[in-house]
Structure 1
C-alpha cells in the first residue's frame, strides 16, 4: 500500500494526490469552531454507517439540528446531506475514496479520524441514548 500512500522511494507517484488535495481543501474551508463537530459526524458516518435519519443522528450525537446542519454545510460535494424537509433521510458519503482518505493519516494529515476517539464518543452517546430512551423500572 505504500504506492497509494505515496511512501517508498523518493518521487513515488501517488495517483490519489489530486483527490487528496481536493478533500483537504473541502475540510479546510470548514470554520475552526465547527470542525470538531463535523469530524464527530464524519466519524460516526465513516466507521459505523448508521442507518439513522439525520434527525436521529443529530439526536444521537446530542446536537442541535441547526448546528448539525451547519457542521455539514461545506460537505455537500462529498456527502449527501438531505434537506431539513427530509429529516427521515440519512446521510451517506458519495464515494468510498473520501472514507478511505479520512481513515489514512498519511493522506489527510490533521483531518484523520481518530478511531479510538470516535469509538469512545459513540459508546458514550449510545449509553446516553439508551439511558434517555429506555423507561426505567424500579427494583423491588
Structure 2
C-alpha cells in the first residue's frame, strides 16, 4: 500500500479554542486548520484520520533517557539513601541480572509508553558492552 503525502485529521480540539477542528497536512506541512463546519478541498489520495475529539497538540521531547536501565527502579532493591554512591551499588546489583531479552522488553515497553504520552523525539543513551 502506498502512503499518501496528504493527511487530514478530523474531529480534534485545539487548546484555547471552542468546538472541533480539522487539520490538513500536505508533504509534512500544515496547510489548513479549520473548524469542522468548513469545507476543505483535498486530493482523493488523502489519508483521513478521525481524532475522536482528542486534543491536537505539539509533541513532547525527551531530552535524556537510558533505555538499557529503564523500569529497573527497586530491582533488586531501592536506593534508600538517594545518594549517587548507593545508586551505583544498586545498579551493579541489577546489572548482574540483565539479559538481552530483558533489556529489549523493557526498552520496547518504555518506547510504547513514550508514544502514548506524545513523545515524538528522544535523545537515547544506552551502554553496549561486548
TM-score range, shorter chain: under 0.3
Higher-Rg member (1/2): 2
Q: Higher helix fraction: Structure 1 or Structure 2?
A: 1
Q: Higher strand fraction: Structure 1 or Structure 2?
A: 2
